Amino acid sequence: MANELLDCEHNLRVAIKKATESPCPPQLAQALEYAVFPGGARVRPKLCLAVALATGNDEPMLAMSAAVAIEMLHCASLVHDDLPCFDDATQRRGKPSVHASFGERIAVLTGDTLIVSAFEQLARCGFQISDARRLATVTQLVTRGVGAPQGICAGQAWECEPSVDTATYHQCKTGALFVAATCAGAAAAGEDYQQWLPLGSAIGQAYQVADDIQDCVGVSAQMGKPSGRDALLGRPNAVHELGLEGAITLLNNLLNDGIASIPQCAGRDLLVSLVEKQSERFFPSGYKRCAA
């Protein structure tokens, strides 16, 4: 699977250009650009596009729009998550967070605008594709991953409750958008998305464990954000619960389960190798995945 087929940078640029064109207020325009570029690993849109490619990708514009929308929504969640009232994080992706650079007001509006633009990106597919139901399915999968009752907003809101089930919290806050990525990729290609749910769920959980490990053993400069935040903020962390070796075993099992769950499809082998490659960076130095 050629890497450029999984690359949504150009389409992300087009979407941000559309939101920031005249007469957009200058600071909002700068902050929108700043919040999205340069990106992180773009793991969610790559996963979405990889599943679409593996399942035939007969509506490539829809798959690309879903990937771009998912990444914009992810960026929006980071901007709002970093706000003083939440994590009060001053660093993100190796540079000052949006509110640290542009102030809290512009940070709130940057998140809001990214959410609106993400859905505009998806809606625009209606001008090109003939199958309105397919677009509706993809959009609904994306909304499910980010809103309430069980998307990112719900996950974040669990932080405000006096008690929370850790699995539910992570499933909403991290897992839901990975599930949206695999399912929307399959639905964009007209496939039954249900059977792609376990892959998204497993990678989402693995990603959370990898994040927990990085928070404990990571060097801030590599992560692009401060380490040791979970202990500081009293948040659940797999390394605190299982120890480092236990957390790495869990990560390994989740990835193996995810790979095993990939349904038979034309591009299965290529998709497996992509998931393997992407997950290399989930492990701290000195560790790697052991196949089941």
Binding site for its own copies (CB under 8 A): 19-29, 32, 76, 80, 83, 85-86, 103-106, 108-109, 111-113, 115-117, 119-120, 122-127, 129-133, 135-136, 139-140, 143, 146-151, 153-154, 156-161, 164, 168
Q: How far is the CB of 213 from its own copies (least distance, A)?
A: 27
Q: List the beta strands (DSSP E) in the chain.
A: 91-92, 95-96
Burial 81-99 (b: 16+ CB within 10 A, else e): bbbeeebebebbbeeebbb
Report the residue number, 31 or 50, with the smaller CB distance to its own copies: 31
Of 28 and 188, CB closest to its own copies: 28
Question: In whole angstroms, how close is the CB of 248 to its own copies at the nearest point?
Answer: 30
Q: How far apart are CA 237 and CA 228, in angstroms?
A: 10
- Cα distance between residue 75 and residue 14, in whole Å: 16
CB of 178 to its own copies, least distance (A): 17
CB of 259 to its own copies, least distance (A): 28
- Residue closer to its own copies by CB (options 46, 80) is 80
Q: Which is nearer to its own copies, 51 or 69 (CB)?
A: 69
Give the SS3 label for residue 96: strand
Side-chain-facing half-sphere of 143: CA atoms under 13 Å: 12
Residue closer to its own copies by CB (options 158, 283) is: 158
DSSP state of 90: -
Q: How far is the CB of 191 from its own copies (least distance, A)?
A: 18
Distance CA 74, CA 111 (A): 10
